[in-house]
Amino acid sequence: MTVSVARLQSYLREVARQHYDAMTVPSFTLFFHPTDPLPFFNYAIPDGPVDGDQSKALRRVRALFVERDRRPRFEFVEEISPGLPDSLCAAGFEEESRQPLMVCSRATQHPASPFDGLTVVRLTAGASALDVKDLLTAQRRGFDPADSRPVTEADVHDLREKLTRGGIAFLARINGEAAGAAMTSEPLDGLSELVGLATLEPFRGRGVGTTLAGAAARAALERGLQAVLLTACDDRAARMYGRVGFIRRSTMLSFSDPRPIEGRPSEVLDSASR
């Protein structure tokens, strides 16, 4: 059975609701990280198909983001609201990214070919502190090689909590050295999301990411889930995921407002209500 795009959008909305503070501005739900202003942790998602004039709602959305010193931002499945991009552009937003939204099921999943020296370890909530710290470090430096922040005990605790709630984590090592990491989110409505897949620079181009994606998808599907989804950063990454059974299902769009976040919140809110 094919997973509908409406179900994918609903899953992404409900997962965000579990992790962030949520606020409704019809026809949107706004999600705010309680402490981190990073744009990727703060965004709005349409509650369903969005049609007609959205100018008033978008002014209100922007005001609420500005009030929290967050950059106004949207993430949504293109096919759910095909008219929303035009409304966002008219309101001053700009397209930030257009990424493949992919799905892997038991019917399509298959493992990557292993290679000598590579080991992939599945971490549980009781995993050693060394493995947990290596995984978190691999993720951070895989996404940003300049990220030298040490992994804290609080970071270790947070990961263990995610694993207790049903998340799955994998650490790849090459000849004993941490090379990459990947996770799946806790399951919801028969779905899970592959997140945080990263390979450290010295080990790229050798199949580490492909192997991790295949291992994570297989582990999630063996739990009885219907599908695992992911958002690929670009078409090249999509081809990599395709090698272990991920199939493009839709397109994930993100839009953000490039204008400076300025003005006292009360002034912005007053202008948004007019």
CATH number assigned to the domain comprising residue 142: 3.40.630.30
Asked if 88 and 128 sit in the same domain, the reply is no
Provide the domain limits for residue 84. 5-93+257-273
Residue 273 has pLDDT above 90, yes or no: no
Please check whether residue 203 is in contact with residue 174, taking contact to mean a CB–CB distance below 8 angstroms. Answer: yes
Asked if 215 and 127 sit in the same domain, the reply is yes
Asked if 145 and 50 sit in the same domain, the reply is no
Asked if 66 and 123 sit in the same domain, the reply is no
Asked if 26 and 12 sit in the same domain, the reply is yes
User: What span, in angstroms and rounded, lies between the C-alpha atoms of 17 and 127?
Assistant: 28
- DSSP β-bridge partners for residue 253: 76, 98
Higher pLDDT, 267 or 136: 136
In a domain, 266, yes or no: yes
Asked if 135 and 72 sit in the same domain, the reply is no
Residue 213 has pLDDT above 50, yes or no: yes
Residue 256 has pLDDT above 80, yes or no: yes
pLDDT for the residue 178:
97
Asked if 246 and 265 sit in the same domain, the reply is no
pLDDT for the residue 235:
94
Asked if 18 and 67 sit in the same domain, the reply is yes
pLDDT in tens, 144-187: 999 988 899 999 999 999 999 999 999 999 999 999 999 999 99
Token pair listed for 180? 């990459």
Asked if 142 and 240 sit in the same domain, the reply is yes
